[in-house]
Amino acid sequence: MLLFSVIVGLILALIPNILWIIFWCIGKIAHFHTPYTPFGWCSLALLLIFWALMAYGYYIGRWRMETTTVEYSHKDIPAEFDGFRIVHISDMHLSSFDRHPDRLQKVVETINSLKPDLVCFTGDMVTVGVTEAEPYTEILRGISATYGVASVLGNHDFLIYSIGAEDSIARSAELQKLESYIRQTLGWRLLRNENMTIAREGGAKITILGVDNIQGAGQGFRTINKGDLLEAMGDTDGFRVLLSHDPSHWAAQVLHRTDIQLTLSGHTHAAQIRLFGWNPSSLMFDQTDGRYDRDGQTLYVNIGLGCTAPFRLGAPQEITLIRLSNTPR
């Protein structure tokens, strides 16, 4: 991170110097003088501003945390689930918390303070392998919800960036370790193209669907497609919540192609930079952060807790509380 900051900062500082050289050369031909001083000050300002932003993002920005509350109503939600509280988290990338377990403990304490009925985790627990999760086992076990934690796998969980070939033996073995860790060690419900039913008295129920990572065509960067939405849906009906890591899946297979009411995703991190409401991930994704409603179907994109690079600017860690209601609010 330090080397990146130095190199990029110096490149930015070169820009005014290059412009001055161009004007100086033109001035020699056209017989006018271009003083260096304003270009020099501009170069220094760019360098210092960039380094200040990088320092802020590293030391402060990546640890800022916000809780977003979403009031979600739909006629298909049973009355017995009015007020049901879902806490949505995503993209832990647990290596982000190396040497900072207290920061992850704070995340868990914040989740528990929201008194969730269900916690939904939409993938990317790790970046390179299950070993980065193991130091945080006891902290993660501390997440408390009435109906536990439902989770899915994200693109990084398939380890295609760290181990290599999609069907390599090493990658498959590491994936099995991660799957066992989530299910047996943490006790979470890992939905791999599966569904689970939450029932209350009188037969009222909602269904949670979960798919392995699916990428919508023409969006994002190269990733992996292992999800099977039809398999996850099975013969379910009524009110359903889909957990799908990549938000591009929503437009590709969910919207207008199913009657799934609510989809929860992550993946984008909002590029870990959000300035004046804009983030760079919008160059690759149609839905990047927050809530999207269309024709009775809703997508919510959580921008995550961890980092793929240790830096966040204007895009803080996010914990989302979703309160269900069967009457408009």
Q: Give the CA-trace dihedral at 200, 202, 207, 208, to 10 degrees.
A: 0
Q: What is the pTM of this model?
A: 0.91
Look-up of token digits 């380890």: 159
Residue 228, Cβ density class (10 Å: 0-12 exposed, 13-18 middle, ≥19 buried): middle
Whether residue 165 is predicted with pLDDT greater than 60 in this model: the reply is: no
pLDDT tens string 8-53: 788 888 998 999 899 889 888 888 888 999 989 999 999 999 899 9
Whether residue 225 is predicted with pLDDT greater than 80 in this model: the reply is: yes
Per-residue pLDDT band for 244 (boundaries 50, 70, 90) equals: very high
With a pLDDT cut of 70, the percent of the chain lying above it is: 96
Contact 241, 112 (CB under 8 A): no
Query: How distant, in Å, are the alpha carbons of 160, 170, 176, 222 from that of 165?
Result: 6, 9, 16, 13
Q: Provide the terminal-to-terminal Cα distance of the chain, rounded to the nearest Å.
A: 45
Amino acid occupying residue 51: W
DSSP class of residue 251? I
Name the residue among 50, 35, 36, 43 with its Cα closest to residue 14.
Answer: 43
Per-residue pLDDT band for 166 (boundaries 50, 70, 90) equals: low
pLDDT of residue 1: 60
pLDDT tens string 268-314: 999 999 999 899 999 999 999 999 999 999 999 999 999 999 999 99
Q: What is the CATH number of domain 66-325?
A: 3.60.21
Strand 317-325 to 297-301 pairing: unpaired
Domain assignments of the chain as residue spans, ordered by start? 2-59, 66-325
Whether residue 183 is predicted with pLDDT greater than 70 in this model: the reply is: yes
